Each structure stands twice: as C-alpha cells, then as structure tokens.
Structure 1
C-alpha cells in the first residue's frame, strides 16, 4: 500500500468518526436507545401506549382495585415519562421511585403479571413490533422487585 492509499484510508476513517459525532461508542448506544424510542412511536406513541395500558387496567378485574383512588392524569404523565426515558427518548422521569410509589399497595406477583399482560395487549393493539416489545419489557422487568410485596 502506498502513502496515497494509506492517507485516503485514514481520511475516510476520520470523516467517519466526525460524521458519527466523535464517539462511535456513545453514538451507537444513543442510536440503539433512539431506535426503541422511535419504535414505540416517539413521545406521542408512548403516550398512546400508556393510555391503552390504563384502559386495559381499568377493564382488568384482577388489578383495577389498585388504581381506584389515584390521579389517573398524573399516573399517565409519570408512566409516559418513565417509558420515554427508559426507551432513550428526550424525557426525564420526575415521579417517585418504585419502592416509594408501591409501598403499602400489596402488589403481588400475579398483579404484576396482569399489568404486564395489559401492557403487552396495548403494544399489540398499537402494532408495536415484537422486538420493540421485548426490549421495553427487558427494561421494565428489573422493577419487579421494587414493586412486588411492598
């Protein structure tokens, strides 16, 4: 390889690094998160998802009692923020942590699973891809221990 070819390869590499924002690792992570946010339909899609979830919860005799005396508008807002932030969107979750929010509610594993079913139904109804569903559920699953049995 001559000096001209080597120089061209380095120039192409430099242009590539500049084009992706000086940080290939950070850009790749941000892109992965952005794609989940986008796959959920952005902020509007996430708000629709949470709305569908709350309709499903209201119809589910197994868990609706947990939501009877709450501010549904605030719940919608906080769940939307939380999912948006987890999915890599431009939102910041401003609600209480999961332990504080669920202490005294007596949420059981069955209750938690019923809520997940409601979320999955909402995602199916909104034609969210299985891949995006699985990615979102993987981000939410670690909250189980912070919610159940409090």
Structure 2
C-alpha cells in the first residue's frame, strides 16, 4: 500500500509536466494509447464495475446517476488525454463537496482504476500516464 501512495505522489508531481527543452509529445498521444473513444469507454465501464463491487467505496455512489457519471468520466478522461472532448461536469471540489473522502477512499478508487486498466489490458506506460491524470486531483477530492 505504501508503494501505491508513493507512486501516486510521484505521479502527482510529474504526471502532467513536460520536460523543458524537449518538444511536446503529440498532443493526443495518450488518447490514442487508450484506444480513442472506444478504449476510454471500455476503461470507464471496467472502472465503474470495479467501484460498484468495492465495498470500501461503493456506498459513495448509492445515489449517483450512473449513466451521467459514466458520461462525465468519459468526457474527463477524453479531454485530459488530448482527445476531442470537452468536460462538462463540475470541478472536482464541487463534485466531492461534503463527501469528506479520506486518503483511504482515494487509494481504494486508484486501486479499482488500476484493476480496471489491467482488465482492459492497457500497457504499463499508458497506465502510468492515466494515473498521472488522477494523481493531481487528490487535493481537490480528499477532505472536501
């Protein structure tokens, strides 16, 4: 578990940064690595399946419109990965306000996301990039 927290912390610091002096990688490279929209949809469906079965955190989604959550997660990952989407949801602070999510809750979500990425057989390098998208969101989610 400590290794997972360390990986998240490292990704939060470096996941979205580009190296000075080096040209930017193709803007939609992660989107393409995910398999475009069909790949993102498969990933989100696998992640929601994992979360639904996770007794540690599934109660947070009891009163959630799952179809809307699915749509918003697809938009969010699509936009963040360089795809042609625009995220239309609330900010992470607004979406998680009043939930008082803990570090353990966030870690459980990350574990479920990793399991989902393994289920859809994403390459390790792609998995690290996806985690790099979610790591920086931790302060906007935990404790809100």
Cα RMSD, aligned residues only: 1.0
User: Residues 52-90 of structure 1, C-alpha deviation per residue, up to 9 Å, x if partnerless?
Assistant: 100000100000000000000000000110001110001
- 2:100 is aligned to 106
Task: For structure 2, list consecutive stretches of 5 or more residues without a partner in the other structure.
Answer: 1-22
Deviation at 1:140, TM superposition (A): 1.4
**Whole-Å separation in 1 of the counterparts to 2:95 and 2:75:** 15
Check the 8 A contact 1:30/1:88 in 2, yes or no: no
Q: Does 1:115 align with 2:109?
A: yes
Task: For structure 1, list consecutive stretches of 5 or more residues without a partner in the other structure.
Answer: 1-27
TM-score normalised over the length of structure 2? 0.82
**Whole-Å separation in 2 of the counterparts to 1:67 and 1:76:** 12
> If each structure's helix is expressed as a fraction of its own residues, which one has the higher value?
1
Deviation at 1:30, TM superposition (A): 6.0
- 1:20 is aligned to none
Q: Does 1:140 align with 2:130?
A: no
**Whole-Å separation in 2 of the counterparts to 1:82 and 1:51:** 14
The residue correspondences of 1:91-102 to structure 2 (distance < 5 A) are 91-102=85-96
- Aligned structure 1 segments of 4 or more residues deviating by more than 6 angstroms: none
**Whole-Å separation in 2 of the counterparts to 1:127 and 1:147:** 27
**Whole-Å separation in 2 of the counterparts to 1:39 and 1:30:** 13
TM-score normalised over the length of structure 1? 0.79
Residue 24 of structure 2, aligned match among 29, 50, 65: 29
Residue 53 of structure 1, aligned match among 40, 47, 52: 47
